[in-house]
Amino acid sequence: MSKNNNIEDMLSQLITMVAAIQVEHKEMKQALEGMHQEQKEMKRAFEGMHQEQKEMKRAFEGMHQEQKEMKQAFEGILQEQKEMKRVQQEMHHKIDEIETRAEERHKEILDQLTAFKHDQDFIWEKTVRHEREIHAIKMKLS
């Protein structure tokens, strides 16, 4: 009986050990399933971050494109400004030419008026002298 007890004890220990191993196996399986679930969640989070990164990249490319367009618009404005400055300089030059011609014409007109004035003074002086001579001749004849 002692052998039987011994075998029974061994069987009892073996059953206890198998039960402990099964419990441990079950716990490990649950832990593994938990880790697998965490891995899935991490994969979803990573995919979400990857999607956000793609969206950020698209947004950055959009901003980069807008920056290029703004740069082109700014260069266009600078070109227009240069053209306007060139036109303004041409107009300033033409205005200077017009002012110079106007001054020359004004001087010519003033010179002509002065000449007319001298001619008029000369004619009046001559007319007065003739009138006096005519008057003197009339006086002698009368």
**What b/e string do you get for 9-22 counting C-beta neighbours within 10 Å, with b at 16 or more?**
eeeeeeeeeeeeee
Residue type, 43: K
- Residues 56 and 65: their CA atoms lie apart, in Å, by 14
State the average pLDDT for the chain: 94
pLDDT tens readout for residues 4-40: 788 888 888 889 999 999 999 999 999 999 999 999 9
pLDDT tens readout for residues 43-89: 999 999 999 999 999 999 999 999 999 999 999 999 999 999 999 99
Q: How confident is the model at residue 1 (pLDDT cuts 50, 70, 90)?
A: low
